[in-house]
Structure 1
Amino acid sequence: MAGIAGVYKREEGLLKPMLEKLEHRGPCGKRIFRYKGSMLGCTVHPNGGFFKDYRGCISVDGEIYNPDQLKIDCRNLLSLFRRKETGFLKYINGKFAIAIIDNGHLVLARDRLGVKPLYYSTEKNGICFASEIKALQEVAKEIKFLPPGHFLNSKHGLHRYWKMSCAGPSLSNPSEIIPLLRKNLEKAVCKRLKGKSRVGVFLSGGIDSSIIAYLVKKNFKNVVFFSVGVKGSSDIKFASALAKYLKVPHCIHTYDLKEMKKVLPEVIYHLESFDYLLVRSCIPNFMVSRLAGQKNIDTVFIGEGGDELFAGYEFLRHLRGVNLQRKSINLIQNLHNTGLQRCDRMPLSFGVEAKIPFLDIDFVKFALGISTALRVEKGKQEKWILRKSFEDVLPREIVRRKKQKFSQGSGSYKIMKKVANTEISDREFKKEKKIGKSFILRNKEELLYYRIFKKFFPYNSILGQTSEQIVRFSLHF
């Protein structure tokens, strides 16, 4: 993990305060490279992330999962770029945000699904860029996200290097699919376990996180499960049952309204959003990330992506064929602005790096090749083929547990809604719900979050990003 920031043909004095806003992304200090009016900086991790020579530099926030195939690792990406130019990006299986300054030119790039964030601004004939918006808001009037699967070249502008295939599913025989599904998902987990000494799993007791927990436990001895929720929450109940079944140490934290209100400003600051659905889901995620950090765990596995790949959302259950396939692809393409933003920001606020095996690019291609009729079988539970693939290794109550949002299972689903309805009058909401030129807050809960958000992000440069994010996140529910 690392925090990337830089300026290209802009004032050098801008960089230092930008890096200071990203210190939580790299706890081992800062490194800076200067070359002919450009500067690239990085808050670094013990494993690196910043590599340079006499004429160029590359900063990488992320990991490569096919180094054997490429015969290189992050340290050698600069030399690969010099041989292949931006063509090297299509060969990488990994999560990454990359910034390169070489011979006076700048290249920014982002992984195919946008697991790692990168933002930029093109103003005053120059470019500023950073891993998080908070590093740019004081130096840029208009902030944009670098789209997943794209690169920005200072010479040629923005270009797409990868596009998700919309080819129809070709796998329809469950007896053939089940062993392949288990093999491919386990392979994705094992890629992310290499070089680790101790890892954690964020366990809600739902089918997605339970499958990941099982596969991590199967392939790695030194693992700890982490769960959070209000007293009596269903997540803690089911997660505890699985931890006992798999004989894995289990750390649990219960919280109440007082603690939720206390952490809310930190959640919104790190998340960089006031979307009420996203903030609501981030509160328990913040709590469980803090719990892992307190136990000196720096790597955790998360079950994100299972709902998008296997039609876990309620509104997908009645779709079939090409309609379900298109909707699934659309949800995956929008994850970078929704669930992946949560999975990046909350753990990293405590120096914890999240691994997301369901979104391994090879597994995504495989999963989207499964017949839509098997993802949601008529009259049966959502994610049918996924549940069927692991029903012999997980407790029955886990396999059959109905899908719940993270905020529902943890028990915090409606708590903040009640707080907002108590603290904000109808008159206040009517007066304050319109922000900017055309954006309308949807409810009092969102206004509650926006008031906090505005204290940290008073500039309108961020508002466009947040409003687009809200539209995308609303597609999930």
Structure 2
Amino acid sequence: MCGIVGVFELKKDSSEQREKILEMSKIIRHRGPDWSGIYCGDKAILAHERLTIVDPQSGGQPLYSEDKSIILAVNGEIYNHQDIRSKYPDYAFKTKSDCEVILALYQDKGVDFLDELTGMYGFALYDSVKDVFLCARDHQGIIPLYYGTDDMGQFYVASELKALEGTCNEIAPFPPGHYYYSEDNSFTKWYDREWKNYDTVKNNTSSVSDLKKAMEDSVHRHLMSDVPYGVLLSGGLDSSIVSAVAKKYAAKRVESGDHKDAWWPQLHSFAIGLEGSPDLEAAQKVADHIGTVHHSVNFTIQEGLDAIKDVVYFLETYDVTTIRASTPMYLLARVIKSMGIKMVLSGEGSDEIFGGYLYFHKAPNAEEFHKETVRKLDTLHLYDNLRANKSLAAWGIEGRVPFLDKEFIDVAMKLNPQDKMCGNGKMEKHILREAFEDYLPESVAWRQK
């Protein structure tokens, strides 16, 4: 996880604004405590706070094109960067950073490349030759990004709202699945899918085996890391699936095509709860079953109450449900940080995709069920995505969410909605439970939310 601050269409000399941008960037340094970088040009300034996950030695940002005319600052991960690199054998890559492929794609295709990226990101790119800038956010808003303008009409983006506070007159979330290209002077939606329309999926045949493989592939992609990582294991279905699949692949290094031994082959799992919590018991049962090194953390109600003010500050929301769910995650992140782990996988997104909430039992038909899953996904960036990202980033931890992988969503949301529906003796998310019941203890695979 990193933090970026960018300002474009400068109306005042950049040298006079450099110090201010550095101070704005410092406000979000908790997101990237490992290194700081800045580009200060005549028409744009890009600042970056880095959390090193991939290519710790040469992957510092901002990144530059070979002639240094194009500058890029990214908060995110591009999981298919090796595949993209292989398509550009003549491009002079300067680092092993997964994000550098964005520069190659931009130079080749202009703005029409975002759907080729598999990952999570919020980025700002400045082309100094054309004097244009491009900002974009991933398909689901997994990575936070905000924008605004100041009194002079300068355009800003930042990873967190607090970096823009006091500078911009109006601040708004950068819409997920969109890009802003200065030449167009407007937002353009780049992410759209036919499966959002019920008529395109209502007659589909659902394959449990295809669903299982898509999830395995997603988790495998998400293990791309040059630093120690772990999994959040609550004892519920979703985090248990992610943890079990991660354990399957943890012994080998993903970047080597699974040919070389992993640098940190022993997978650590983490759970938090009040003393005596049934979730902690379930998490331990899963950990014992799949063979992770498990860490169970207790907190008290008072410790949770004491943390709320900080949680609100870091999450930048007053949504009650989000704050309530974020508080233990925030406390757990501090423990994870103390153990030297910098990245964790988590189970967000499954309930929205598969209709995992109990109220989905009341869906009158498959069409309404599907429409509600689409609606939930469209608003997830305001709630669970925000929680998973910022609760962890507060302590310099990167959170990854395999259920929200772009390729996995395409498989899961094309399942026939009728086969996802609960009721009439079927438990919620039964198709997902069926796909992974061989990975988990029966009491967990068929445990109700």
TM-score by length of 1: 0.81
Q: How far apart in 2 are the matches of 1:189 and 1:50?
A: 28
C-alpha deviation, 1:26, in angstroms: 1.1
Name the SS of the counterpart of 2:63 in structure 1: strand
- Could you tell me how far apart the structure 2 residues matched to 1:388 and 1:327 are? 22
Aligned to 1:89: 114
**Distance in 1 (alpha carbons) for counterparts of 2:390 and 2:111:** 27
Displacement over 6 Å in runs of 4+? none
1:169 is matched with 201
- 1:60 lines up with 2:88 in the alignment: no
What amino acid does structure 2 have at the position aligned with 1:148? P
Identify the residue that residue 203 of structure 1 maps to in structure 2.
233
Q: What secondary structure does 1:317 align onto? A: helix
Q: Does 1:293 align with 2:337?
A: yes
SS of the residue aligned with 1:250? Answer: strand
From 159, 167, 178, the equivalent of 1:139 is: 167
Counterpart CA distance in 1 for 2:226 and 2:354 is 29
Q: Residue 130 in 1 paired to residue 175 in 2?
A: no
2:433 aligned with 1:387 = yes
Give the residue type in structure 1 aligned to 2:276: G
Q: Which amino acid aligns with 2:2?
A: A
Structure 1 SS opposite 2:125:
strand
| Bigger shift: residues 132-141 or 372-381 | 372-381
Deviation at 1:35, TM superposition (A): 1.9
- Deviation of residue 377 (structure 1)? 3.5
Structure 2 partner of 1:237: 281
CA distance in structure 2 between the partners assigned to 1:258 and 1:195 by the alignment = 36
Matched, 1:69 2:83: yes
- Kept in 1: contact 2:227–2:342 (CA 8 A): no
Deviations 1:377-402 (A, max 9, x none): 43221001001111222111101211
- 5 Å-filtered alignment, 1:443-454, equals none
Alpha-carbon offset, residue 70 of structure 1: 2.0
Instruction: Work out whether residues 148 and 172 of structure 2, in 8 Å CA contact, stay in contact via their aligned partners in 1.
Output: yes
Structure 2, unaligned runs of 5 or more: 87-97, 252-265
3-state SS, counterpart of residue 124 of structure 2? strand
Matches within 5 A, 1:43-442: 43-46=49-52, 47=55, 48=59, 49-53=61-65, 54-71=68-85, 73-103=98-128, 104-123=131-150, 124-156=152-184, 157-165=186-194, 166-167=196-197, 168-169=200-201, 177-196=207-226, 198-221=228-251, 222-319=266-363, 320-379=365-424, 380-403=426-449
2: CA distance, partners of 1:195 / 1:268: 30
Seq. identity, %: 30
1:10–1:291 distance in 2 versus 1, CA, 3 Å: farther
Letter in 2 for 1:77: I
| Matching residue of 1:413 | none
Q: Distance in 2 between matches of 1:89 and 1:172?
A: 27
- After alignment, is 139-148 or 258-267 more displaced? 258-267
Contact 2:79 2:224 in 1 (8 A): no
In structure 1, the gaps of 5 or more residues are: 404-477
Match of 2:362, SS state, is: coil
Contact 1:185 1:357 (8 Å CA) reproduced? yes
Q: Residues 28 and 49 of structure 2 are in contact (CA less than 8 Å); yes or no, is this contact kept in structure 1?
A: yes
- Aligned partners of 2:245, 2:306: CA distance in 1, in Å? 35
Q: Deviations over 1:94-143 (max 9, x none)?
A: 11111011122221111111111111113422212110001001101210
Displacement of 1:82 in angstroms is 2.2
Match in the other structure for 2:7: 7
The 3-state SS of whatever aligns with 2:271 is strand
Corresponding residue SS for 2:280 = helix
Q: In 2, distance between residues paired with 1:57 and 1:284?
A: 38
> Amino acid of the residue matched to residue 140 of structure 2?
L
- Aligned counterparts of 1:233 and 1:169: Cα–Cα separation in 2: 40
Verify: 1:21 aligned to 2:50, yes or no: no
The structure with the largest helix share of the pair is 1
Normalised by the size of structure 2, how large is the TM-score? 0.86
Worse-matched range after superposition: 339-348 or 21-30 = 21-30
Change (3 A) 1:171 1:252: farther
AA aligned to 2:124 is A
Moved more, 155-164 or 232-241: 155-164
Q: Which amino acid is the alignment partner of residue 400 of structure 1? A: W
- Let me know the Cα RMSD of the aligned residues: 1.7
Deviations 1:278-298 (A, max 9, x none): 101101111222221111111
- The Cα of 1:83 is off from its aligned counterpart by 2.1
Q: CA deviation at 1:318?
A: 2.2
Paired residues of 1:171 and 1:370 also in contact (CA < 8 A) = no
- Number of equivalenced pairs: 401
